[in-house]
Amino acid sequence: MVFDPIVLFFLLGLLAGLSKSDLKIPAAIYEALSIYLLLAIGLKGGVELSKYPLGELVTSSAIVLAAGMLIPIIGYPVLRFLGKLSHYDAASIAAHYGSVSVVTYSVAVATLIERDWAHDGYMVVYLALLEMPALILGVVLARLGDARDGQASAGLAALRSIHWGRLAHEVFFGKSILLLIGGLIIGFIAGEKGYEPIAPVFKEAFKGLLALFLLEMGLVAASRIAAFRSYGAFLVGFAIVMPLVSASIGILTARYLEFSQGNATLLATLYASASYIAAPAAMRIAVPQANPALSIGASLGVTFPFNLFVGIPIYMWMARTFIPG
């Protein structure tokens, strides 16, 4: 089989949703599972980080971040001028694709483990790093768009109109960053020995709970697909082609940084994935004029399943082909 059986849980949820089954996962469980996933990933990364020289990550982080910002910068004009979307929608969707998906990353890790590909737990540092900057860039793009449309007198004034304080708060104290970074630090301090007694919950149960989360994601995606159908072929195309472009940037960056094939796959997956936890909430507040049905429909209804079933195998193939073993 080309994909991990865990993704079948997503299909089951999708089927339940599309068939209007009475299956419903309570919102409280959804919340709890997403808190769990973020913490568990952070912890594991922190424990691994405690075994590596932190310093080495600094340069590569800067490069990974810079290369990652290409994604919204490429995405925005495509959406705006090829897709003829409003500059709000273009900015919001670009931000979703510049940010990352924790679950897509987790499925990639599970697949690597199943195939016995070596990879490093500290890759989660890049996950944490990439989540937010694209959102800020998205807000900036939206405001500069305002300016160009004549709603503000100049680009600089437009930038000044952003509530930087509120945005920074959203960024650093939003629950996903807080749990990821918090988990990283706790894992770093606890180390292997302190991690061991909590590992039955945060490590061994991880894949099973990820399966339940995928079931729920399928249910949510089902409702999004319906809402999304009316928006036509362009966005569906974008939601499939953009991840491939982003993954290619990831493979190039990984090659430049001399990553292993496993780590290269993970970086490609991060770039290719689109956010559906942090981004929708942040964009809804910061760029309210954008239609959330478009961005969530594309990221959750198309790109997420695409990555699960088709994307990750492709990124593994890319890594095997373009990264020296």
Which positions touch other proteins (CB under 8 A)? 24-25, 27, 30-31, 216, 219-220, 223, 227, 280-281, 284-285, 288-289, 292-293, 296
Q: How far is the CB of 201 from other proteins (least distance, A)?
A: 21
Residue 219 interacts with, from other proteins, Na ion, its own copies, none (CB under 5-8 Å by kind):
other proteins
Residue 23 interacts with, from its own copies, Na ion, other proteins, none (CB under 5-8 Å by kind):
its own copies
Neighbours of 153 (CB within 10 A): 9
One DSSP character per residue, 73-138 reads HHHHHIIIIIS---HHHHHHHHHHHHS--HHHHHHHHHHHHHTT----GGGHHHHHHHHTHHHHHH
Sign of CA dihedral 248, 250, 253, 254: negative
Residues 270-309 that bind Na ion (CB under 5 A): 273
| Among 2, 32, 154, 168, contact with its own copies (rule: CB under 8 A) | 32
Q: How far is the CB of 164 from other proteins (least distance, A)?
A: 17
| C-beta closer to other proteins: residue 93 or 245 | 93
The answer to whether the CB of 202 falls within 8 A of the CB of 40 is yes
Q: How far is the CB of 160 from Na ion (least distance, A)?
A: 28
Which tokens hold the place of 23?
């299956």
On the CB side of 182, CA atoms within 13 Å amount to 14
Q: How far is the CB of 100 from Na ion (least distance, A)?
A: 5
Q: Does 4 bind its own copies (CB under 8 A)?
A: yes
| C-beta closer to other proteins: residue 219 or 314 | 219
| C-beta closer to its own copies: residue 4 or 48 | 4
Provide the 8-state DSSP code for 4: -
Q: Does 56 bind its own copies (CB under 8 A)?
A: no
Distance in angstroms (rounded) separating the CA atoms of residues 34 and 289: 27
On the CB side of 43, CA atoms within 13 Å amount to 21
Q: Which stretch binds its own copies (CB under 8 A): 54-62, 110-118, 247-255, 302-310?
A: 110-118
The answer to whether the CB of 274 falls within 8 A of the CB of 246 is no
| Among 2, 205, 226, 241, contact with its own copies (rule: CB under 8 A) | 205
| Among 63, 73, 168, 189, contact with its own copies (rule: CB under 8 A) | 189
Furthest CA-CA distance within the chain: 59
Residue partners of 99: CB distance under 8 A and separation at least 6: 130, 131, 132, 134, 135, 274, 275, 278, 279
Count how many residues are written for the chain: 325
Q: Which amino acid is at 95?
A: A
| Among 120, 155, 159, 207, contact with its own copies (rule: CB under 8 A) | 207
Residues of this chain that interact with Na ion (CB under 5 A) are 100, 273
Residues of this chain that interact with its own copies (CB under 8 A) are 1, 4-6, 8-9, 12, 15-16, 19-29, 31-32, 35-36, 39, 110, 113-114, 169, 173-175, 178-179, 182, 185-186, 189-190, 194, 197-202, 204-205, 207-209, 211-212, 215, 281
